[in-house]
Structure 1
Amino acid sequence: MTAPIARATTTEPIVETAQGKLRGARAANCLVFRGIRYAAADRFQAPRAPAAWAGIRDALTPGASAPQTNANPPPGPPYVILAQLPRPANAAPPPKLPESEDCLFLNVWTPALNDGRKRPVMVWLHGGFFYGGTGSTTDGSGIAGRGDAVVVSINHRLNAFGYTHLADLAGGEFAEAGNAGMLDIAAALRWVRENIAAFGGDPSRVMVFGTSGGGMKTSFLMASPPARGLFARAGVQSGPGLRFMERDTASAVTERLLREVGLTNAQVRDLATIPADRLLAGYHAVAAAMKPTRFIDLPCFAPVIDRKWLPQHPFSPGAAPGTAAIPMLIGCNAQEMSFFWGNDPAAFTLDEAGYEARVRDFAGEAAPAVLAAYARAYPDATPARRYLQAFSDYSLALPVTAQADRHAAAGGTTYAYRLDYQSPALGGKLGALHTLEGSLLFDTPEASRALLGPGDAPVRLARTMSEAWVRFAATGDPNGGALPRWPRYEPKRRDTMLFDTGTSAVSDPNRRARETMAGLLRA
């Protein structure tokens, strides 16, 4: 959180924003400014511009993350399998990040101030779908340290605080509450447009990108009229955002929340004043009862169709107006879903009968075709590995391909990728799991050695991928450097860059999922 005003020394990096001067810190290879307030907001209401200040204010520590921690978590191990990775000997546990409704803060990493350069800007939207996560743990120093881009990460409102739809039950000043978290992101982008030049960034070359929920948020912004002109490129990593919530469904969720916290529909406005821990507990209870049935399902507390902010779904049934004007880089990892099996150890040891039963669960009448296709493609794989591949293709490769198809068919500049690098963690059973690309895109592979493994291969891959993403941020085209030619994605060929220990472009690598499961997309 932004610290009180203090005196400066001559060696400290000082930047002047529209609101006042900020003091940052010198990292080993760049400058970093943390906990910058980009807006303020009352519960369920639109964000407002931050107040100005006199003197110099410290920007040395991250601001608070949005409230999200469940005070009464379900029993058993967490579903995110990263919790099972071995920790280095004597390593201290990561510090618990502060959480607060007052969470509209961002962080900036820049190579230099006042050097006459205008670099592309890469604004990272964190994952965690729309219920959790934080930008406070992002490390933009790998990219900024090379000198070729400015990196920004943000915190914004989440779960019931950011996505409780009140327009139809309360209206008035709460009319935009169902998209409050997205209004926060738009406010952060306005702050970037107004201030990023002072940090050495080019406000005309802003790329918004994110993994998982961050990709979904990026997809929302592409289709949101008030967000037009705030960014020039989009990166959607393992987070296709085809559809969001319909108003009637969102209102029904709000009614469930009211009952959970002991209020009636007539008392809906009291949601704005009940204690934060009571609202958060109500959210967790409703969310536990409304779990998604597949990765792209958003059954509760997610963005809502709205005449102003989201007039129609971003990529369903086709690309929404305006989305094709924004170049998009989109893709996923080859074996995404092992990430979510931390509390499902049986998924890694399935026999043939168990594998077939699970495929029938998600594929229904298409199960025979899916089983036959994956038996032909992976004759030597265990049933568990075939299930991991089929379920990952169904969950992410299929909707990612659909979003790429629809963007390109509308005339958009589209580039597609797939990360195939196999994590050696936990005996190699994870494959190329969800979020594996994070430290590769940020060129910080040392931070993820537990997932990436030893040696030079992760270092080379991180440099290749991060440089491609920076080129895309700068020009809308990732080609250049030592990267093989990366063709634009077109629905007829579906050219896709595969990133592994080697890198190559291939045509339609997700064809198996598309041809056997197309009828299961329903979006």
Structure 2
Amino acid sequence: MTSSEPIADTQYGRLRGSLEGDVMAFCGIRYARAERFRPPVAPEAWTGIADALAFGASAPQSNPNPPPGPPYVILAQLPRPANAPPLPPPLPESEDCLFLNIWTSGLRDGRKRPVMVSLHGGFFYGGSGSAVDGSKLAARGDVVFVSLNHRLNAFGYTHLAGLTEADEFAHAGNAGMQDIIAALGWIRDNIENFGGDPARIMVFGTSGGGMKTSFLMSSPAAQGLIHRAGVQSGPALRFMEREDAAAATDRLLHRLNIARSDWRSLLTLPMPTLLAGYHAVADELKPRNFTHLPCFAPVLDPLLLPQHPFSPRAAPLTNAIPMLIGCNAQEMSFFWGNDPGAFALDEAGLETRSQAFLGDRTGTVLSRYRQAYPDATPSRLFLQLFSDYSIQAPIIAQAERKEGAPAFMYRLDYQSPALDGKLGALHTMETPFILNTPQSARALLGEGDAPAMLAAKMSSAWVAFATNGDPNDQASGLPHWPAYERNDRATMLFDQSCRVEPDAGGLAREIMGDLVEG
């Protein structure tokens, strides 16, 4: 051991981290252990100094029988710069995956920094906290950044409550959320040793990360563990009803040729076999949009989720937590990776695709959108319409239903220059701005100073919110950002020039509001 190696104490033992410039990184910290479908339990203590130098395994998620064809998301098709380093190999996947990562600028220095806990996206079926880079925010010196892994898909959300009376499986349908709650408990009990403030913990995430955040806001088991919430392009008004979750479990058992009475066979199936069964069922039950959850997602639970977070109104526990919430202007182009025809629609194609979710209202809605976007091509008009329906309208509904502590609404309007500008402000594009990592996304964000300037503003706002529960920071260069109220619906628009606009999503709210489930 050298004197430059950072050493941190935890209640379970000491950890050796590494230096990344001015930041100390502690990666692959075990926060819990769990056997399949069972609740997480505290890790065992150790003697000596354990290494926290590398990310831990990701949760099982890869399809053993992947379908042919191009990747589903468009980002995978963007060209890589000629001088870009090769992509690192994917981390191994294991059921032993309950690890978190911490970046901090100070240990035992007498400071208590707000803590930003990032929950990764990927709905509830994929993703990894190891793909989140918190070093740039931690390098500012004013926050401690945490990312984490938790159980996913069938391993994290198989509802067994109707098949067994055993307490150890009563909450298997929310095992992945129990993991996150266990991680937040670990953070509360140990983060002060990493320069963090256990009384100022912001949980936030994009897409599925925002959905998980909404669950935590309304969960009695997470009460006191989360003090600010960031919901980014991941509205979550409601989660699965118990009968729907039970039906998904029945489909999985049928796919795997397991009788209901023999459900315990799920406990010993090889990991690839369970994953293959899950992916087959998930493909049968693809959601229509973000207001319709995929199968194997969080489920109503008398202890963990007694009511939906924001349906038909806000759950009482959400009242005490300020919320930063918003979306990107053209979210759904992200998902058109295997749908090239979506970028070349004619008027007939626009009407056919729109009718799939608008029904007999298609003509009226298209007329309003043509008036609002007179220069839009049919493809661009459908992209806007489908994005408003899928994400912006539910996001607005969640903000409208928030009570108590304030909500702050934003929309990212910055247009990606990639693929000749076809993508707009697509799903996940806010992440490099918020994390202040624009260099990592130049293929998407473009060259020049604009991406870095916007990243400085957005990351400052998120840090201010983590610090005070209010995104206003005089040093950010942003105009004053009022809380969202129904009288003016103030919305911060992030672009090359940022501004606050009243009721910026008014068209989506007026036309799509009654189509939002819940």
TM-score range, shorter chain: over 0.9
d(CA) in 1 for partners of 2:135, 2:364: 47
Q: Is structure 2 residue 216 aligned with structure 1 residue 218?
A: no
Q: TM-score, normalised by structure 2?
A: 0.98
Structural mapping, 1:332-411, within 5 Å:
332-407=327-402, 410-411=403-404
Note the C-alpha offset of 1:275: 1.1
Runs of 5+ unmatched residues, structure 1: 1-7
User: How far apart, CA to CA, are the structure 1 residues paired with 2:503 and 2:208?
Assistant: 25
Shift of 1:41: 0.4
Given candidates 49, 52, 63, the residue that maps to 1:59 is 52
Deviation at 1:388, TM superposition (A): 0.5
Residues 1:123 and 2:117 aligned together: yes
* Deviating 4+ runs (over 4 angstroms): none
1:35 aligns with 2:39: no
Distance in 2 (alpha carbons) for counterparts of 1:263 and 1:71? 19
CA deviation profile, 1:106-146 (whole Å, cap 9, x unmatched)? 00000111221110000000000000000011110110011
d(CA) in 1 for partners of 2:165 and 2:36? Answer: 14
For the residue of structure 2 that corresponds to 1:166, the secondary structure is coil
- The C-alpha deviation readout for 1:439-467, integer Å capped at 9, x for no partner, is 11011110111111001100010010001
| Correspondence 1:259 to 2:254 | yes
Quote how far apart the aligned CAs of 1:11 are.
1.4
Contact 1:366–1:517 (8 Å) recurs in 2: no
Structure 1 residue aligned with 2:164 = 170
Opposite residue 60 of structure 2, the aligned amino acid is P
Give 3-state SS (helix, strand or coil) of 2:316's partner. Answer: coil
What is the alpha-carbon distance in structure 2 between the residues aligned to residue 259 and residue 20 of structure 1?
45
What amino acid is aligned across from residue 26 of structure 2 in structure 1?
A: F
Alignment partners' CA distance in 2, 1:181 and 1:241:
16
1:178-257 superposed matches below 5 A: 178-257=173-252
Q: Structure 2 counterpart of 1:99, which letter?
A: E
Select between 292-301 and 343-352 the one with higher mean Cα deviation: 292-301
Question: What CA distance in whole angstroms lies between the structure 2 residues aligned with 1:423 and 1:171?
Answer: 52
Q: Is the 8 Å Cα contact of residues 366 and 516 (structure 1) preserved in structure 2?
A: no
- Residue in 2 that maps onto 1:3: none
Of 89, 102, 112, the residue aligned with 1:95 is 89
CA distance in 2, matches of 1:102, 1:501: 43
Number of aligned residue pairs:
514
How big is each residue's C-alpha offset from its partner over 1:175-217, in whole Å with a ceiling of 9 and x where there is no partner?
1100000000000000000000000000000000000000000
Q: Deviations over 1:11-50 (max 9, x none)?
A: 1000011100000000023110000000000100000011
Which residue does the alignment assign to 2:38? 45
Q: Is the CA contact 1:118–1:202 (under 8 Å) kept in the aligned structure 2? A: yes
2:71 is the alignment partner of 1:75 = no
1:161 to 140, 155, 158: 155
Check the 8 A contact 1:291/1:299 in 2, yes or no: yes
Partner Cα distance (1:85, 1:94) in 2: 17
| Distance (Å, rounded) in 2 between the aligned partners of 1:500 and 1:299 | 32
Which residue type is aligned with residue 258 of structure 2? L
Query: Residue 495 in 1 paired to residue 508 in 2?
Result: no
Does the aligned pair in 1 maintain the 2:397–2:513 contact within 8 Å?
Answer: no
The AA in structure 2 aligned to 1:395 is S
User: 1:5 matched to which residue of 2?
Assistant: none
Q: CA deviation at 1:360?
A: 1.0
In structure 2, the gaps of 5 or more residues are none
> What is the rounded CA distance, in whole Å, between the counterparts of 2:170 and 2:87 in structure 1?
41
Kept in 2: contact 1:369–1:516 (CA 8 A): no
Kept in 2: contact 1:260–1:286 (CA 8 A): yes
Secondary structure of 2:129's counterpart equals coil
Q: Which residue of 1 aligns with 2:308?
A: 313
- TM-score, normalised on structure 1? 0.97
Question: CA separation in 2, counterparts of 1:218 and 1:81?
Answer: 26
Matched residue, 2:6: 13
Q: How far 1:89 moved relative to its partner?
A: 2.1
CA RMSD of aligned residues (A): 0.9
1:25 and 2:18 are equivalent in the alignment:
yes
Report the Cα offset of residue 361 of structure 1. Answer: 1.1
Mapped partners of 1:327, 1:166: distance in 2:
34
